[in-house]
Amino acid sequence: FQGARQTGSRNSLRETARLSYNPWETESGYTYPGVYLGNKKVLQFGGGIDHQADYKGYSADAFISLPIGVAPATTPPPATPVSRDAVNAELTLLAFDGGTTFATGATAIPEQKAATMQLGYYISQFKIMPWGRLEKQDFRASANNGRDNNRQQVGLTWFPGGNNFNVKAAYSRVSPRVGTTTNEYTVQVQFFYY
């Protein structure tokens, strides 16, 4: 990629790569659905790198969508899979270091590590999924330690149109190392049209 450009200079290009492995069923498309609504058994492991000049970014992740129980039998078989309850979980680990490339100003990226973990249970009868999410951001330099924070989130997603249309509601608690702990309430409508 072109990456960040500096006026009047010849910067190196930005290089990114991602590799994933799916031992059960394949995932395809430009983006992954993230929730398979009990229709597919998916286990995925992945990792990535992001680099430009002295900037480095690394990621590692794992995802599982595990249908629970036996799908109801129908005669003749349906054109689309019959939905079942499912456990959905993901874990992502990230590390960034802006180095001298992004050391100051609005584009500064201090050295940091971050982790997110999410667990949800899809209830097919009602097309809802209660879920919980934990996030942690840890800045390495003592000058940035005050920016460290932890986030806890619980929510409920309703999937009336599957992944093409859903509504999410969530409560979040943000606990910074320095400063006031805050609460956040979010309602989000998501739709995909093609």
pLDDT of residue 103: 79
Cβ-Cβ contacts under 8 Å for 49 (sequence gap 6 or more): 15, 16, 17, 56, 57, 58, 59
CA distance 194 to 192: 7
pLDDT tens for the chain, 194 residues long, are 767 766 656 677 888 999 999 999 887 766 677 788 888 899 999 999 998 888 899 999 999 999 997 665 555 555 555 678 999 999 999 998 888 777 777 778 888 899 999 999 999 999 999 999 999 998 877 666 677 889 999 999 999 998 889 999 999 999 888 888 899 999 999 988 76
Output DSSP code: residue 144.
G
The model's pTM: 0.79
Nearest to 162 by CA among 83, 86, 90, 87: 83
pLDDT of residue 155: 97
Name residue 179's amino acid: G
* Alpha-carbon dihedral 158, 159, 161, 165, rounded to 10 degrees: 70
